[in-house]
A and B are shown apart, each in its own frame.
Chain A
Amino acid sequence: MAKIQLNGKKITINSKSSIQDLLKKHNLINKKIAIELNGIIIPKIKFKKKYLKNKDKVEVVHFIGGG
């Protein structure tokens, strides 16, 4: 198990979870989103191979209405 912060909330995930696994768990596969891991943007092609570790900070953003 690993404790990470996802969009400011502390959550526990299985160890050896990739970003792809995290997205799957939250119904975010194939959605228009972008990911930042510890302040660094992760390109889509790396989602499957990028594994998460304890204390990682993940930000998942999307487009919302705005002027």
Chain B
Amino acid sequence: MQRGDSLNSPFVPFSPNPSIQQGTPTSTPPLKHTLSSSTSSNLRYSSSRKSIYDRHLNRSQRSELSKASFAFLFGEMVQYAQKRVNGIADLEKKLNLHGYSIGQRLLELLLWREGRSAKRETRILGILQFITTTVYRSIFNKPADGLEKSRDNEDEYMLIDNDPMVNSYISVPKEMSQLNCAAFVAGIIEAVLDGCLFPGRVTAHSVPTEQLPAKTVFLIKFDESVIERESVLG
């Protein structure tokens, strides 16, 4: 029992404001006051006694992540998501959501790193350029392979990736041929667009060709309000 207590206590998450936070676990037992003050350590601090505010944001700017470890993590993410959904559309939505929270953070981080030369994007073309170059380069170390405007629809753009890194170790079964796990990347793109006030819908579609069997097209469909504003800005 005692062992159980000491195991439970470290999992009390630091929630700055429980009333706003949605997923606050309620079943977590409160810290027992029998625990000495040293063991009920404040989780705001890491073992080095430094808060997140004491670390520099550029610490990991140039470092690269092993592709194998990412493939493992992403594989697990897909599996985890798949256990909790019914249907392919649901699964893609879940992956999209995973990416979304990453995109929100990445946007601020990238602009922060640009320092004084940082500027907000106010035009559709500007923000799409930002995604194909800056965002893509920071995640995948290469720019996206293409950016096209839809011929039929004013509000649709297509971002092309000939071989999405996230899909390199994923082979989709035949009965799920609709699925493209790059929905995760679509979520990142959607979050960046949303953050800059270009709300829209981003979906990933497989468009295999003879030379490029993994070619993926991210279809970006902007809200009406964005197109309206764009025409006002002229």
Decide whether A and B are members of one complex. Answer: no
Which residues of chain B have a CB within 8 Å of any CB of chain A? Answer: none
